[in-house]
Amino acid sequence: GNSVTQMEGPVTLSEEAFLTINCTYTATGYPSLFWYVQYPGEGLQLLLKATKADDKGSNKGFEATYRKETTSFHLEKGSVQVSDSAVYFCALSTNNDMRFGAGTRLTVKP
């Protein structure tokens, strides 16, 4: 079946550090890939997405590229801020299925 494997963390970084959160997937067919973010006390919000191979999703300085050859969708940000502290979930979607990774808690210290 479909599945997502995500670096679990927690990850603690200093402000302006470079962030990478690894995500790999297993799926039949051609899934769409997503990164969702959950800020403390809030629901999940879409951060970015990519719907086909080699697509790059980007938002708020975060980027992820859909790599079919390595079945990966790693999340990166060049310079994190304290306000980026949250839990990040990698997810894949097919027409009637959605799978989430375990989530990675990121804490950014000033």
Q: Does 51 bind another protein (CB under 8 A)?
A: yes
* 8 A C-beta contact, residue 47 and residue 35: yes
Ordered DSSP codes for 13-32: EETT--EEE-EEEE-SS--E
Size of the site for another protein (CB under 8 A): 24
Q: Which of 105, 84, 77, 104 is nearest to 4 (CA)?
A: 104
Q: Which residue stretch of 12-20, 40-48, 59-67, 68-76 sits at the interface with another protein (rule: CB under 8 A)?
A: 40-48
How far apart are CB 83 and another protein at their closest, in Å?
19
Least distance (Å) between residue 14 CB and another protein: 23
- Contact status: 40 vs another protein (CB under 8 A): no
- CA distances for 30 relative to 18, 48, 79, 86, 101, angstroms: 30, 17, 31, 29, 18
Compose the 72-91 pattern: x for residues touching another protein by CB under 8 A, - for all others. -----------------x--
The correct pick among 13, 63, 100, 107 for binding another protein (CB under 8 A) is 100
Q: Which two tokens stand for residue 99?
A: 């799978």
Q: Extract the tokens encoding 8.
A: 């679990």
Residues near another protein (CB under 8 A) are 31-32, 34, 36, 42-46, 49, 51, 89, 93-103, 105
